[in-house]
Chains A and B, each alone.
Chain A
Amino acid sequence: MVNSSVPGSAGDTQREAARSDDTQRVVVVGGGMVAQRFVEALRSRDTENRYSIEVFAEEPRPPYDRVGLSRWFTEGPEALTLGEPELWDDPLVTLHRDRRVMAVDRERRTVTDRLDKVHHYDHLVLATGSYPFVPPIPGADLPGVFVYRTIDDLAALRGWVEQKREASPNKPVRGAVIGGGLLGLEAAGALKALDAHATVIEFGTHLMGVQIDQGGGEALKRLINNKGIAVRTQTATKELKPHKRTGHVGRMEFADGGRLDTDIVVVATGVRPRDELAREAGLEMGERGGAVVDLACRTSEPDVYAIGEVACIEGRCIGLVAPGYTMAEIVVDRLMGGDATFPGADTATKLKLSGVDVASFGDAHGRADGCVEVVWADQVAGIYKKLVLSDDARTLLGGVFVGDAGPYAMLRPMLGAELPEGDPSAFILPEGGNGAALGGLELPDDAAVCSCNNVSAGQIRAAVTEHGCTDVPGVKACTKAATTCGACLPVVKKLTNTELEKAGIEVSTALCEHFELTRAQLFDAVRVADLHTFSEIIGRFGRAPEGATSPGRGCDICKPVVASILASQGNGHILAGEQATLQDTNDHMLANMQKDGTYSVVPRMPGGEVTPEGLIAVGQVARDFGLYTKITGGQRVDMFGARVEQLPDIWRRLVDAGFESGHAYGKSLRTVKSCVGSTWCRYGVQDSVGMAVELELRYRGLRAPHKLKMGVSGCARECAEAQSKDVGVIATDKGWNLYVAGNGGQRPAHAKLLAEDLTREELLTTIDRFLMYYIRTGDRLQRTAPWMEEVEGGLDGVRQVIIADSLGICADLDAAMADHVANYEDEWKAVLDDPEKLRRFTSFVNAPKESDPNLAYVAERGQHRPATDAERAAAASGAEDAPVLISGPSLEVRS
């Protein structure tokens, strides 16, 4: 193999080792979405490691989700991650970022990169995508004119808006978008989100002319106007004029004599294939560009494939990701010796502009011979829905949905199939009609449910029936359905649940045999009915199990749920009265049970801050009670091996030393991790420890559906890893950025940006509401990340509820949190002050002076840990090399 250029990374030797002599080298030019899918698919199918892959990407980052590009503004670059990042650590995969390929030599089978390095290939895959087409309007090269294709484009655009705002803070920034298609509308939405004015200039008769008909266009215009975006149709832009003083773009002049003053112009007039490499290499080109490929995605040159937007397939280039993914899979299949061919493109589309529902599929313009259209329109509400049917009004040929894309997800997979008997208009009538008719639809197995990932209804059913998936996340992971644009999620959910039901797998949302309700429903029911004890609650809302006449007395599932609900609604100490019977052992003993039945003890150290005296006191307690000590991930000290009867003595000492319960045992706020921040760190821009302490003291003791973790970093370097927490706060020059719904653990989730540059007061209010909303609506043992996936409207929906107060519950949420803050008391101190509560901390009711005789420990690294079964057996047999067991009770208790 000649001229291999392997970057000097730690994986080099591994890479060389993984390659054998007959490994064939695949070079991929372009590091976009389709390239990513190609690499992923080839690595998953090439189990014998026949191919090594080198990817050359012009952009300086690994492939990202371009379809979701606009989310970059609100959720940051992490939200655009595609697939598993480990893909790029695979020893057989090399990703060269920021390394454009400049030339292809077909004779020698090599490519040359921008550093003039030459690389050999056995198979070449062109996946260079498209570039934004900018029409030759005079002035289109002025500063302030942007395109909308890459993360860098968006960053430049945002920078420009900010710069303009700073230059004249009292004037709104004015923006214009040339092009009223999918992309143009997304760009206009982005300008709005950046707080700039936006006007969309469309040359044609109506918006989204490619996808929807005139009627839909009219309805859409109304919806877009409602978002505060102006629209001018049938307007040709003649020239862009510079501002006299700055030389930046300043005015647009139109063919009809009109003008528009503006500070920024986004050109979104379509894309053209990036086919220069193919052209220069002498490959056959399409009439309107693109490398011509056959149905196996082969170009005119053997061993050179083209996939994605650069490929001219069936006579055209397709500007959508789903056909590109299909092409990637086809080339992989061919490399693996298969004979897959391109089945034709699904051009269904859905606009991703929050609050504007637009979708179309199939023959949206009704161009087929003799087709009939069924239209339902509500001018006032801006709703327009149309079905295109075959001449007998049975076969679905296409559809347009504006203002209510509800039926889209369900009907799109029926494209080309016969609709069930009956009046097809039932599918698009508002309310009642809609739901009923759609609900009854049975999708045929070959119906394409997820067009992004090419998943059929049959594959989703098989995920349940054959691959043993038992929930929607499982089916998503197994089939990849609903993991790209998400438009198909409702159908994936419905199919999964139907299949689960058929298989007799409980999809009931009932809490347990005692309660038919979900946790959220029970929370509301208890609140509205104003109930305060478990007996009242089970008496009122419990259900009798089969064959019984009363609901019984609850169980280990519903009791802790009710305990949490009661605690969230302000019912005093968790061990008060009947509440004590509901707590699981950790809450009951206010400590964390370990594998041998002893407990660990964690005093609160807010923000991870502790005085030297505090540390000494903790150390003395641990030494005196013979506890094993370890620093937790949440920046505090954990002491292990405390016996039930020792807990009050330990806590008396800790409370005297000024400590309070750390709630490590509760489904409640654990810690607020912080970095040292501006008080010591030379990069810090805010006092992160101060903020962390304030947050921890505010939310300590707050009970939730699951544990809550928070973090605060003093600057964007993020040393506190706040973005892996349920609530993460990162300091900015202007205030605080708030991230929510992250977690570490088995299924790590990156927190999402909820709001930016908040003042301290705004930050507290937003967190108050976020937490209370979650506490009220979260499911049992559901952390914030999965909650966010399920809650109505996702992140945007949460914003609507807690910032825009769309449900009118903010005052209520605020009051509930104020109640919590006002009524906090240290749970441990309250126990120590109450002989009745102290009663439970006894080893044996009839021998309170004796300790569990079965505890045994061995020494290790200067401390001790529970003996293993083998060590116990060895000690019992009296073997010579048996470890010395330290029995629990023999540990002296000094007090």
Chain B
Amino acid sequence: MTVSEHSESRTVSGGTATLAAASGGGKGVNVIDDLVWHTVCPVDDLMPERGVAALVDGVQVAVFLLAEPFEGARVHAVQNLDPFSGAHVLSRGIVGTRGGVPTVASPIYKQVFSLVTGECLALADKEPKTGLAADLTAYPVDVRDGVVHVGTPA
């Protein structure tokens, strides 16, 4: 899921969502509509068609900047944990498209995941590790005033 425009009703804690506050969650947090919004980084810190890892409330999230917007959004986020290897590496996979949908490929065993839904699109002859689901958690993303925010359930 990707939120591209925030609604009018949303209140933004004016000016507090700055880079200085964005350190592993805790600060720069905003609760709106059952979602806790975390400030991650300026969008300028992202590199087109590559990912970065972020610590959001202690959880590793992989944040990607697409070359061109998909369904209106250029920034997408999924879990950084690769369910097939157990390593936190998805931010370092190759970004591309499958049938037009933006994807990331695991750098370890090459499974391909949708960046929009987190769905695993190619298993590459492997099963996820026990206790892990093949599909990824996709996080809502909001880019406001040039700053990337990631939402987690409240």
Contacts and interface: CB of A to CB of B under 8 A. Distances in A.
Contacts, number: 126
B99 A585 contact: no
Interface string A557-585: 01110000000000000000010111111
A844 B54 contact: yes
Contacts of B107: 584-586, 593
Contacts of A550: 100
A850 B58 CA distance: 11
A585 B93 contact: yes
Interface string B37-56: 00111000111111011111
Interface in B80-124: 82, 85-89, 92-100, 102-103, 105, 107-108, 110, 112
B99 A548 contact: yes
A597 B88 CA distance: 7
A846 B55 contact: yes
A21 interface: no
A644 B48 CA distance: 19
Contacts of B60: 844, 852, 854
Nearest to A582: B94
B72 to A, nearest CB: 16
A840 interface: yes
Contacts of B94: 555-556, 559-560, 582-585
Tell me the dominant secondary structure on chain A's binding face.
Answer: loop
A578 B49 CA distance: 9
A559 B23 contact: no
A589 interface: yes
B63 A845 contact: yes
B93 A556 contact: yes
B24 interface: yes
A847 interface: yes
A555 B53 contact: no
A595 B55 contact: no
Given A556-B94, A556-B105, A589-B92, A581 B50 contact: yes
A869 B86 contact: yes
A162 interface: no
A341 B100 CA distance: 61
A846 B41 contact: yes
Contacts of B129: 869
Report the contact-size class of chain B (Cβ under 8 Å from the partner). 35 or more
A839 B65 CA distance: 15
A595 B108 contact: yes
Contact of A846 (B49, B54, B66, B89): B54
Nearest to A854: B88
B47 A580 contact: yes
B22 interface: yes
A850 B88 CA distance: 14
Q: Max chain B CB contacts within 10 Å: which of A514, A535, A552, A843? A: A552
B67 interface: yes
A545 B52 contact: no
Given A560-B94, A597-B87, A839-B47, A553 B52 contact: no
Interface string A325-363: 000000000000000000000000000000000000000
Contacts of A847: 23-24, 54-55
Interface in A480-535: 513-514, 535
Contacts of B97: 514, 552-555
Contacts of A733: none
A546 interface: yes
A762 interface: no
A583 B40 CA distance: 25
A8 interface: no
A837 to B, nearest CB: 10
Contacts of B100: 545, 547-548, 550, 552
A588 interface: yes
Tell me the dominant secondary structure on chain B's binding face.
Answer: strand
B70 to A, nearest CB: 10
B96 A555 contact: yes
Nearest to A555: B96
Interface residues of A, number: 43
B94 to A, nearest CB: 4
Contact of B54 (A593, A597, A644, A845): A845
Nearest to A535: B67
A646 interface: no
A842 B52 CA distance: 8
B88 A556 contact: no
B108 A553 contact: no
B53 A843 contact: yes
A596 interface: yes
A543 B54 CA distance: 35
Nearest to B63: A845
B138 to A, nearest CB: 18
B83 to A, nearest CB: 13
Contacts of A535: 67
Contacts of A558: 96
Contacts of B112: 555-556
B86 A846 contact: no
A597 B41 contact: no
Q: Max chain B CB contacts within 10 Å: which of A842, A844, A854? A: A844
A555 B93 CA distance: 10
A580 B95 contact: no
A560 to B, nearest CB: 7
B107 to A, nearest CB: 4
A593 B55 contact: no
A843 B24 CA distance: 12
B99 A559 contact: no
B87 A596 contact: yes
Contact of A844 (B55, B96, B108): B55
B132 to A, nearest CB: 11
Contacts of B82: 597
B115 to A, nearest CB: 11
Contacts of B47: 580-581, 839-840
Contact of B89 (A552, A553, A585, A850): A585
A397 to B, nearest CB: 50
Interface string A593-614: 1011100000000000000000
Interface in B122-140: 129
A559 B108 CA distance: 16
Given A840-B47, A854-B88, A869-B86, A556 B96 contact: yes
A640 to B, nearest CB: 14
B102 A593 contact: no
Contact of B105 (A513, A555, A593, A852): A555
Contact of B95 (A548, A553, A593, A845): A553
Nearest to B110: A556
A545 B99 contact: yes
28 contacts: A545-B99, A548-B99, A552-B99, A553-B66, A553-B67, A553-B68, A553-B96, A553-B102, A560-B94, A580-B47, A581-B67, A583-B94, A584-B94, A595-B85, A597-B108, A644-B92, A842-B52, A845-B40, A845-B45, A845-B53, A846-B23, A846-B24, A846-B39, A846-B40, A846-B54, A846-B55, A847-B54, A869-B86
Question: What are the 5 tightest A-B residue pairs by CB atom distance, in nearest-first order?
Answer: A552-B97, A556-B105, A555-B96, A597-B87, A585-B107
Given A553-B102, A845-B54, A852-B60, 4 more contacts: A553-B97, A585-B89, A597-B85, A846-B56
